[in-house]
Amino acid sequence: MARTVVVGLSGGVDSSAAAALLLEQGYEVIGVTMRHLPAETTNSCCSLEAIVDARRVAKKLGIPHFLVDVEQPFFERVILPFQEAYLAGTTPNPCAMCNRYIKFGAMWEWARQNGADFLATGHYVRLREEDGLIYIMRSVDRSKDQSYLLYTMTQKDLAHLLFPLGEYYKNDSRAIAERYGLITAHKAESQELCFVPKNDYQGYLETNRPEVVCPGNVVDTKGNILGTHRGIAFYTIGQRRGLGISSHEPRYVVKLDSVTNQVVVGTKDEVFQETVHVEHVNYVVPVHGKTITGHAKIRYNMEPEPAQWIGDGRESDIAFLTPQWAISPGQIAAMYQNDALIAGGRIQKQP
């Protein structure tokens, strides 16, 4: 008897190709699209067009399709923390929280309640079983690897997850969709946050949390006032342009202080750091000892750099072999060994 897998169909090419591959592998496939924003949303991954495309893919593949409303948990678990993070002077990663609570939380709960054995998505990531453990491995397509965003996964989660695209490249996914005659085969990718129109996060925050407009001082690392700012939420670590100050040497944002409402600027050298303190740590696989030697990354679009992970609790430190540019509190830091994701956490603010 074929085992049942629920596939998250977003209306894009990756999830469409994943569903097709699972059919080829003999699974009984069910397509599910999560509606996490109001129907009038125009961003591609959450729009009415995306839902219609998902349904057309399901029809073409001959699989059932369901639309599941997760608007409330999405607001509580993803949107609200995103807003609060900026108010606190940190840079959030809402995609990681969406993975944890929506894609692999609410969607798996729906799948489980409806008798599914597995949940699958179009993420570019591999799974490997060894010695009774399941490892999250970086994708074959390094340019699309999404393992970094899955640092919150546990062994319990991984036991029912499938990632059909981990051994494929993006062009392969389009070829698979084209072979099945799917409407998504040549659909453009969305690079936007689904709930932030045109990726204008500043305009989004001003509209939805007007208290972000809170002027304060721009100071140097010695506390000297150099100018004023319109709100710490509008600045990022490492930013050089648009600071509204004059200086005899280039100045960069090195800290956003929500307590004093100050934007702290410094020299280029002061933007580099060797050590990162992380909190809310999750270990994807059990570790032995307090030190892990491997490679780490502090943002999605970087290659992991040689580093040591020091600690075994909910807070740890990452010591990089070479200083890293613009380490941003609120973002994710992830640790790898031989392409396997070992642990991750949220970068903590500097004292």
Which residues are tagged catalytic?
A: 98, 194
- Report CA 171 to chain centroid distance, whole Å: 22
- The helix-helix angle for 201-208 and 80-87 (nearest 10°) equals 100
Q: Residue 29's closest CA among 38, 39, 18? A: 18
Rounded Cα–Cα distance for residues 112 and 105 (Å):
11
Residues near 106 by beta carbon (within 8 Å), at least 6 away in sequence: 34, 68, 70, 73
Number of residues written out for the chain: 351
What is the rounded CA–CA span in Å between residue 222 and residue 47?
48
